[in-house]
């Protein structure tokens, strides 16, 4: 892009490249803006050293993202709009991004709720439907939810599912988009073949999601 106008467009397959090779290719092509989903903080820092701006935690079709960037003029404007309008995250995602970027300890369970803890006689199992605060929806750890203790008392596949989910929810280094969370969950559960249920109104979006998931699993849309 030059002066807000598209001058050229190129599609490159980077599936078989290492991280260093990808960084080198971005430099060689003169890329200064990278729009992506989940990304490690280390990579963001490395790209920053190369003057590459990273717009992370973004989900959307490549054409729509590119067109949006072309329409916007000025870095600060297009960064804010892309994160707000293209991202699949809720409106409060920006606060989660800031908290995770600074490695906030608010997202970590307190010492008393570390794995191995037990429910006391005065405690009961969680009931999120009756919860009035729901701070978990803001990316914060719920002090009323002794999740680790609940995991310890759960057995079989349900326990494995809860452990994998807890690991993803408390990820301190990376900001994961919803698709990345699904991928990590399925990998943690050892799934090889997954089904994707969708309605006809979301056909284009489902096609995009299926294409992304097929990089990792066998996918059957239904």
pLDDT tens track for 78-117: 443 333 333 333 333 333 333 333 333 333 433 333 333 4
**Cα–Cα distance measured from residue 57 to residue 100, given in angstroms and rounded to the nearest whole number:** 12
**Cα–Cα distance measured from residue 113 to residue 141, given in angstroms and rounded to the nearest whole number:** 11
Which neighbouring-strand residues pair with 194? 219
Q: Residue 7 above 70 pLDDT?
A: yes
Q: What is the pLDDT of residues 136-181, one digit of tens each?
A: 777 666 766 655 555 566 667 777 787 788 778 777 676 778 888 8
Q: Residue 193 above 90 pLDDT?
A: yes
Contact 128, 134 (CB under 8 A): yes
CA-closest candidate to residue 55, choices 74, 76, 34: 34
For residue 82, the 8-state DSSP code is I
Q: Residue 211 above 80 pLDDT?
A: yes
Pairing of strands 33-35, 218-221: unpaired
Phi-psi label, residue 77: left if phi above 0, alpha if psi -120 to 50, beta otherwise: alpha
Strand, coil or helix: 194: strand
The reported pLDDT for the residue numbered 186 is 92
Write down the mean pLDDT value for the chain: 70
Which neighbouring-strand residues pair with 117? none
What residue spans define the domains of the chain? Answer: 19-100, 108-172
pLDDT band at 217 (very low <50, low <70, confident <90, very high): very high
The larger pLDDT score, comparing residue 147 to residue 134, is at 134
213 contact partners, CB below 8 Å, separation of at least 6? 179, 182, 183, 194, 196, 219
The reported pLDDT for the residue numbered 147 is 57
**Cα–Cα distance measured from residue 31 to residue 51, given in angstroms and rounded to the nearest whole number:** 9
CA-closest candidate to residue 147, choices 166, 133, 130, 128: 166
**What mean pLDDT comes out for the span 37-49?**
84
pLDDT band at 218 (very low <50, low <70, confident <90, very high): very high
**Which residue's structure tokens are 């989900």?**
59
**Cα–Cα distance measured from residue 215 to residue 222, given in angstroms and rounded to the nearest whole number:** 18
- State the pTM of this model: 0.39
Helices (H) then strands (E): counts for the chain: 9, 4
């Amino acid at each position: 892009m030059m002066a807000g106008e598209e001058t050229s467009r190129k599609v490159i397959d980077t599936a078989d490249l290492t991280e260093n090779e990808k960084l080198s290719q971005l430099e060689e092509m003169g890329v200064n803006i990278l729009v992506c989903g989940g990304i490690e903080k280390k990579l963001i820092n490395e790209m920053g050293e190369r003057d590459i701006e990273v717009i992370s935690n973004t989900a959307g079709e490549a054409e729509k993202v590119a067109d949006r960037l072309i329409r916007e003029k000025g870095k600060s404007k297009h960064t804010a709009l892309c994160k707000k309008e293209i991202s699949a995250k809720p409106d409060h995602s920006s606060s989660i991004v800031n908290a995770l970027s600074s490695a906030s300890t608010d997202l970590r369970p307190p010492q008393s709720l570390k794995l191995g803890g037990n429910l006391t006689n005065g405690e009961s199992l969680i009931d999120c439907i009756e919860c009035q605060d729901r701070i978990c929806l803001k990316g914060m750890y719920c002090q009323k939810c002794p999740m680790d203790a609940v995991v310890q008392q759960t057995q079989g596949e349900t326990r494995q599912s809860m452990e994998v989910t807890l690991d993803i929810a408390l990820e301190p280094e990376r900001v994961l988009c919803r698709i990345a969370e699904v991928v990590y969950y399925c990998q943690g559960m050892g799934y090889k073949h997954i089904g994707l249920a969708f309605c006809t109104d979301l056909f284009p979006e489902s096609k995009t999601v299926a294409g992304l998931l097929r990089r990792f699993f066998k996918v059957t849309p239904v």
